[in-house]
Chains A and B, each alone.
Chain A
């Protein structure tokens, strides 16, 4: 079945460092891909999404490009801030259903 694999955490960075969180997927069809962020004690917030190959999702300085050839959707940010500390989830959803599949999550801690 469809699945998402994302890099193990935790990830600890200094403020203004470059961030990459790797995400790869397995899908039988043509899924949409998402990054969600979860802050302590809260639900998931949509960070960005891409619905077809070569689409780039972006929001709040974060970017991810839907790469069909490598089945990847890596999350990047050029300069992280302390406020970016959270758990990041990569997810996919197929058009035929609303069963969203999530990666295990990557905890990011940014130190001043």
Chain B
């Protein structure tokens, strides 16, 4: 079974721009979660999508948004980029049929904001 894939792997943007990251979950997984990883803050939860609906959201400003498509693929958008948005963005998928389920992570997209 193919793992979680994320595109692109690397991005360089300038302040004020916007960016869209893509995540394709493991086949059959309907839940996709996004995380931000930085040296200072560690791994922080952004949001979770399940069956095209945002089900849970972390403590991030509204500049961070996402969506999920009917095939469970998900995109994350960051508008008006700031220097502090430079990070590794990780996507994780799970079946999430019931209760807690193991999340499987993709390789991440490394975003650099100049």
Contacts and interface: CB of A to CB of B under 8 A. Distances in A.
Interface of A: 31-32, 34, 36, 42-46, 49, 51, 89, 93-95, 97-105
Interface in B53-99: 55-56, 58, 90, 92, 94, 96, 99
A98 B101 CA distance: 8
Of B43, B94, B107, most buried by chain A (CB within 10 Å of CB) is B43
A100 B99 contact: no
30 contacts: A31-B100, A32-B100, A42-B107, A43-B4, A43-B6, A43-B106, A44-B105, A45-B105, A46-B104, A46-B105, A51-B100, A94-B100, A97-B48, A98-B33, A98-B48, A98-B50, A98-B56, A98-B96, A98-B101, A98-B103, A99-B45, A99-B48, A100-B35, A100-B45, A100-B92, A101-B45, A102-B42, A103-B42, A104-B42, A105-B43
A100 B56 CA distance: 11
B59 to A, nearest CB: 10
A99 B48 CA distance: 8
Interface residues of B, number: 27
A4 to B, nearest CB: 10
Contact of B107 (A34, A43, A104): A43
B31 A98 contact: yes
A74 B94 CA distance: 24
A44 B90 contact: yes
A3 B63 CA distance: 25
B25 interface: no
A69 to B, nearest CB: 21
A105 B56 CA distance: 24
Of A95, A98, A102, most buried by chain B (CB within 10 Å of CB) is A98
- List the 10 closest pairs (A to B, CB-CB), nearest first: A95-B99, A102-B43, A43-B105, A44-B105, A32-B100, A43-B107, A95-B100, A98-B48, A43-B108, A93-B100
Of B94, B103, B107, most buried by chain A (CB within 10 Å of CB) is B103
A58 B95 CA distance: 22
